[in-house]
Amino acid sequence: MRKLLTFIAAFCAVFNLKAQTLQPGAIAFVALQTDNPAAFAFVNLVEIQPGTVISFTDNKWGFNHLVLTEQTVVWTSPDTLLPIGSIVRLRDDGSDNMAVEGPGTAEGRLYIMSGAADQVLAYVGPQDEPSFIAGISSTNWRDECDSLPFFQFRTCLPAPLVNGLTAIAFTNTQSFAVDNGYFAITPFSPDGTDMLSIINNVNYWFLSNGESAQYENWPDWNSGTTLPFASAISFNQENYTITEGGSLADITLSLSSPQFTPQTVVINVLEFPGITAGDFQCNPAVVAGNITLQIPANTTEVGFSVQALLDGIGELDENITFSIGALSGGLVLDQITSTLVTIVSTEQNLPQVSFSTDTVLVTEGGLPATITLNLSPALPAAINVIVTAVNGPGIQTDYFTTPTAFNNQLLLLSTPNSSTLSFSVTPFNDFQIEADEVITFTITTVVNGVQIGAQSSVTLVIRDDDNAPIVYIPEVFINEICATNLNFPDENGQLDDWIELYNADTATVNLSGFSITNNPNNPQLFVFPPVSSQVTMTPGSFKVLWADQNTVQGPLHLNFTLSETAPGYLALYYSDGETLMDAINYPNVASGSSFGRYLDGSGNWKQLFLPTPGAPNSDSIPAFLPQVIETRQVSVFPNPSTDYVQVVWKGPKPTSPVTFEWMDISGRKTALHPEPLVAGKSWAFRPDGSKGLYFLLMHCEGRTEAVRIMRQ
């Protein structure tokens, strides 16, 4: 048995023990199961003399007597002195007496207990004059000790028992009861008085409404299988501010409950740009980017200190983030998992230049707008500031600046001892109905040691003074969907899910700002980036999007995948993020097939046996296709292809001659002459033919296999 408790003297002083005389708190319940089979467990917190009798009943206490409508089991201690910390388990196994695991014997049964609410009371003496020593309830105790009807399972807590000290209730809500629970920590050398209040603290119990009693997890300090009670750890604050050369900042973390064994927490230290080893120090020290904190047993707080050092350098405020990293077994993360420490420089008040506001509004043909930059503090000498203008969509010659911008850059010169400098923007009236237009001005370069302040950009909005613009929604459709791609790898040779868009409009459409989603609650799940060369669709053209959840591969790679095993949803939205252009709930289709419109852009959706990403949809099934078997011996990329096709042989070295042919959808074939076939080695060829669906045929040992290839 672990060194559980050594507090005999403490309890002897409290209880003044004599044979057969047990006071409240002499034992404590450590487990209860109200489902069938009924079971409970207790631990003695004082030495129990040989032959001591303790009765356990689920009868109710009716003010001054037990209401004898239920059962009682009598436990007798062994014929030797029972040491403190012995655990006894009693469980109804259907026989005349409850089964006992541990010391002592039992007569009688507790075999009908209510999962809706029930209790066990432990007492010594006769049942007409019981002396209660412990109690446990699966719900809260009744407030009043009165005469109770038969159907009322709950009871009051009889005197002199005290809930949380000599008795325990699983919940404080009358309308809710728990089927079973057990004391879920292994004690670590508290004194006897503390032990009693700890065991009867419901926060240290595992509670469940499941059917399983989980006997394997019940306390068994002899075998050491009792689970440690998890405690949540959190920073006390999200932010701290310290000053160079100033006092220490004490960073504190709190535990939701004390641990009975020492624990460890590792704090990860992230230094923002500009931070050096001479800027701060910690206690305990930072080692390899971490601070290791030791948490003593039975404590609820731990911390470390941070001090900012004088480095002799004039600089802006600097930041360090401390976050909770590795935790020992008894700890879990709570709400505040990191804290930001800001170091304020006191060695030099650095001059900064910053815009005085973040937004300026003007109207077409109206008065010029003056945009002001603040200098803090004012400088005795003039400085140069370069401001760069970035025009939003639709901006061409809609405004001019004073001073004049060259290559979208303005060179500004301050006046000595002035705290401001400025430039003006004059908007033209172009007499065109259009949406509001936006220009962003950003401070990009400052000389003479001046820093760029926090407000480094300003947005100028040019309001249209004509009628509200009419928004034209182009006719772009979701045209074809493939969630089980077998034959059309992307530009990286990967068989990703794909979606085909079709521009049925008579005008070219730039998808920049449009969005596509598989979540009806998030219309802008994927927003097409402003990469005109790749997201522009000419009239009647197709665009293939790869639903591979890998956006780093390019602007046509989405941040979600398609559903293979259940019906899915797709929607295409206009650039305002609200106007729905097209949506479809697509079904499951056979692997390698697609689900698409036939004809393109029509309202007729169907399964397409010949997927055609980037080309017109086809619902035909050529007569020879049932005899063609998809191959696993070779892979082809890129697919779709516009020029050369690379073929990789994936199988072992062939033992018989292998020939290849190039076949179009009508069945016309052209012989190919590859290099010797070696596993993993590729060979290339430039196929003839216009855009459309083709097949690479491989003939070997009387068997024909095929790979579908799309030409764009």
Residues 446, 373: Cα–Cα separation, whole Å: 12
How far apart CA 602 and CA 473 sit, in angstroms, is: 17
- DSSP code for 555: T
**Contact between residue 342 and residue 240 where contact means Cβ atoms under 8 Å apart:** yes
Q: What are 264's strand-pairing partners?
A: 294
pLDDT at 536: 93
CB 204 within 8 A of CB 184: yes
Residue ranges per structural domain of the chain: 8-217, 231-344, 352-463, 476-608, 625-711
Residue with tokens 């209730």: 169
Tokens 């303790």, residue located: 54
State whether CATH 1.10.150.530 applies to domain 352-463.
Answer: no
Which amino acid does the sequence have at 612?
Answer: T
Topology agreement, domain 352-463 and domain 476-608? yes
The residue type at 682: S
Main-chain dihedrals φ then ψ at residue 459, nearest 5 degrees: -105, 125
- Separation of alpha carbons 170 and 173, rounded Å: 9
Number of other residues whose CB lies within 10 A of the CB of residue 369: 18
Provide the 10 A C-beta neighbour count for residue 432: 11
The structure's pTM equals 0.36
Q: Which residues pair with 664 in a beta bridge?
A: 694
Give 285: exposed, middle or buried? Use CB within 10 Å, 0-12, 13-18, 19+: exposed
3-class DSSP string for 517-528: ECCCCCCCCEEC
pLDDT at res. 2:
35
From residue 381, alpha-carbon distances to 117, 353, 377, 446 in Å are 83, 14, 12, 13
Q: What's the confidence (pLDDT) of residue 229? A: 53
Question: What is d(CA 121, CA 42) in angstroms, rounded to the nearest whole number?
Answer: 12
The whole-number pLDDT of residue 313 equals 58
Residues of the chain with pLDDT under 50: 1-19, 173-175, 188-192, 223-228, 626-627
Q: What is the pLDDT of residues 222-234, one digit of tens each?
A: 544 444 456 789 9
**DSSP label at 262?**
-
What does the CA dihedral 92, 95, 98, 101 come to, rounded to 10 degrees?
-90
What secondary structure letter does DSSP report for 534? H
Asked whether 54 and 122 are in contact (CB, 8 A), the reply is yes
Instruction: Check: CB of residue 267 under 8 Å from CB of residue 282.
Output: no
Which residue in 548, 553, 359, 528 sits closest to 457, CA to CA? 359
Residue 490: CB atoms within 10 Å: 23
Q: 625-711 belongs to which CATH class?
A: mainly beta
Superfamily of domain 231-344: CalX-beta domain (2.60.40.2030)
Give the pLDDT score at 16. Answer: 36
pLDDT of amino acid 292 = 93
Compute the half-sphere exposure of residue 534: CA atoms within 13 Å on the CB side of its CA: 11
Say yes or no: domain 476-608 is CATH 2.60.40.1260: yes
